[in-house]
Amino acid sequence: MTTTRNTRLRRPLLVGTTAVAAMAVTVGFMAVTPEQAKAATGPKLSLIAATDSVTLTSWKEDPGVYLDLGTYLTAEGTPLELKVTRKSYKDPVVITQTVYEAGKPKVKTLPAGTVKDFSGLPGFAEITLTDKDGKQVASRTEGFCPNNASGRVRPDAPSTSKYPESCPTNAFTLGSVWGVEKGWAANTYGGSYTQPVKLAAGTYTAKVRVAKKYRDLFGIADKPATVKVTVQERSWEEGAGTPAARSSSAGAHAGHGAAHQAPAGHAGHGPGHNPSPSQLAAPETSGAGPSYNVGHGPLKAAPPALPWALKKQQAARADMQAGDNTGQTDGSRQAPALAPQSKRPTGTPSVPNVPKPDLRSLPAYGITISDGGQNIPGKDYLAFSANVWNAGPAQLVVDGFRSPGKAKMDAYQYFYDANGKQVGYTPTGTMEWDPRPGHVHWHFTDFASYRLLKADKKEAVRSGKEAFCLANTDAVDYTVKNANWHPFNTDLATACGQENSISVREVLDVGSGDTYTQDLPGQSFDITDIPNGTYYIQVLANPAKRLKETNLDNNSALRKVVLGGTPGRRTVTVPAHDLVNAN
């Protein structure tokens, strides 16, 4: 795939959302025989409708309605639990189900081709709409992400759902866990990323049923849900019909993680929510650093992931308006040397023999040619998104401490035993305050670095981006040991402190990664004077090896790119990375 210069800020890949695009499926499924069902018992799944009628709004300025019809899949007896994995990017995505034999969990491998990615079960719900005369006016299929924890269906069900709150859509995801908790319901609506249906004002009848392949696979009864649909037409000029309200009605439904309430001061929106203009204008500030449970005890509900990528876009726009292209350098910005540490924390620093994190990089993606936001004739930048994640088995915990009057914090990495007890720490660099509009938080230095390598793997350009505010933006692999399915700091509003902070804690949980999108300063290389040809974008975690890890030999990821075009009109071709064909 070849892309050319695009002066507009490109919308990044939104990861960690439950919005599953509607799609048809042609892959066949093997039916479960009665003998198999008796040997390994799964949950009793049912399709239900919360109400027999809904009212949907079609806006005159942007006609179409999203088919959030209030239909849910419920699980009884045992949870619906699915694990989706791939061994490497050279291997296909496979899915297994946890079933029970004599009360003991067993792994049941589902047919090859059941899923092709990690965004959910494709073609799960079949929807038809008829008008008042019984004429069919629309028909579609929608994917289903079980991870929306819409709520309990009976009072004696478990108080919280143990499953993650979204299905990842990052093309380089490695493992995911999906589930509907016993006694819970999951909304079958595909999310705000499904396409709207254009319907005239009036009344319709919607019939929703689970596709036969999934009914056979999971033993779901063929009992469609019928809902009366009233479509009303309104205008944004009517007051309540503002663009923000329209976005909210399209995506902020009760499912997709909205049932898990955020703690005070950290209220969020469900992953399907589109932020209002006022939310987009808000800087990435946060309050005092929250407390973290670094052990692996009972899972607790966490706030839904905020639309962090859109907030980072706003930050980038603010930087560009201020004329700041920090990070788009030839590599002159280097991580500072370790300075003499402050008197805090007390005690002797040590690196105990306990589990440690394992930082790894994903191949770069979201790769495009940009002008760096500067609109300078003849200047070309190769922009990209990058993710560093933690494969565990322990969290990465970094605390910064500031001596009174000092501009920087001294950073320490902390270590914990199997019971979550702090047992040691060691100096690991610094944290620096970033006052730029849209950032306004503390960055931990030297967490990762980016290099553009020539075809012979020798460095051609280095990005100046080496300071990061750590947040668990992406569920990269929730099947690894000790993966935390409910990380707290899922966006920059829950991490990285404020200007008058005396200390800051930044955490990267097991199984999660931190993505910086291609529209941020530092997420690009100046390629103005770089010849056309083959190159590799290198994402390198822990470049100075200051952080203590279980493995320092797996920190680098390469992504091949081919530069072409002419100065001021450069192009980039991004070949597939093994089986992942996403730029």
3-state secondary structure 4-62: ECCCCCCCCCCCCCCCCCCCCCCCCCCCCCHHHHHHCECCEEEEEECCCEEEEEEECCE
Q: How confident is the model at residue 275 (pLDDT cuts 50, 70, 90)?
A: very low
- 39-43, 204-208, 243-247, 281-285: which is most confident: 204-208
Tokens in use for 130? 């008829």
**Amino acid 439: pLDDT:** 65
Q: How confident is the model at residue 158 (pLDDT cuts 50, 70, 90)?
A: very high
Share of the chain above pLDDT 90, in %: 53
Q: For 200-209, 288-297, 330-339, which range has the lowest pLDDT when averaged over its residues? A: 288-297
d(Cα 208, Cα 226) in Å, to the nearest integer? 6
Share of the chain above pLDDT 70, in %: 70
Q: For 108-122, 233-247, 468-482, 557-571, which range has the lowest pLDDT when averaged over its residues? A: 233-247
d(Cα 129, Cα 131) in Å, to the nearest integer? 7
**Amino acid 120: pLDDT:** 95
- 88-92, 463-467, 539-543, 544-548: which is most confident: 88-92
Cβ(71)–Cβ(126) below 8 Å: no
Average pLDDT, the chain: 77
**Amino acid 407: pLDDT:** 86
Q: How confident is the model at residue 470 (pLDDT cuts 50, 70, 90)?
A: confident
Whether the pLDDT of residue 307 is over 50: the answer is: no
Cβ(425)–Cβ(410) below 8 Å: no
Query: Which amino acid is present at 526?
Result: D
Query: Cα angle at 162 between 114 and 270, to 5 degrees?
Result: 80
**Amino acid 324: pLDDT:** 41
What is the mean predicted confidence (pLDDT) over 264-268? 26
Provide the terminal-to-terminal Cα distance of the chain, rounded to the nearest Å. 7
What is the mean predicted confidence (pLDDT) over 226-238? 93
Tokens in use for 78? 């045992």
Q: What are the φ and ψ backbone dihedral angles of 569, each rounded to 5 degrees?
A: -140, 50
Whether the pLDDT of residue 175 is over 90: the answer is: yes
Residue, of 411 and 103, whose pLDDT is higher: 411
Query: What is the β-pairing status of strands 381-390 and 365-370?
Result: antiparallel
Q: What are the φ and ψ backbone dihedral angles of 311, each rounded to 5 degrees?
A: -65, -35
**Amino acid 84: pLDDT:** 98
**Amino acid 440: pLDDT:** 74
Whether the pLDDT of residue 503 is over 70: the answer is: yes
Whether the pLDDT of residue 206 is over 50: the answer is: yes
Q: For 56-65, 97-106, 238-247, 459-468, which range has the lowest pLDDT when averaged over its residues? A: 238-247
- 9-18, 183-192, 244-253, 352-361: which is most confident: 352-361
What is the mean predicted confidence (pLDDT) over 51-61? 95
Whether the pLDDT of residue 51 is over 70: the answer is: yes
Closest among 450, 443, 523, 469 to 12, alpha carbons compared: 523
**Amino acid 519: pLDDT:** 63
Q: How confident is the model at residue 208 (pLDDT cuts 50, 70, 90)?
A: very high
**Amino acid 421: pLDDT:** 93
Whether the pLDDT of residue 17 is over 50: the answer is: no
Q: Record the pTM.
A: 0.76
Residues in the chain: 583
What is the mean predicted confidence (pLDDT) over 394-402? 93
Question: Residue 452 is inside which H or E element, if any?
Answer: strand 448-454
Q: How confident is the model at residue 436 (pLDDT cuts 50, 70, 90)?
A: low
Whether the pLDDT of residue 6 is over 60: the answer is: no
Cβ(197)–Cβ(67) below 8 Å: yes
Whether the pLDDT of residue 462 is over 80: the answer is: no
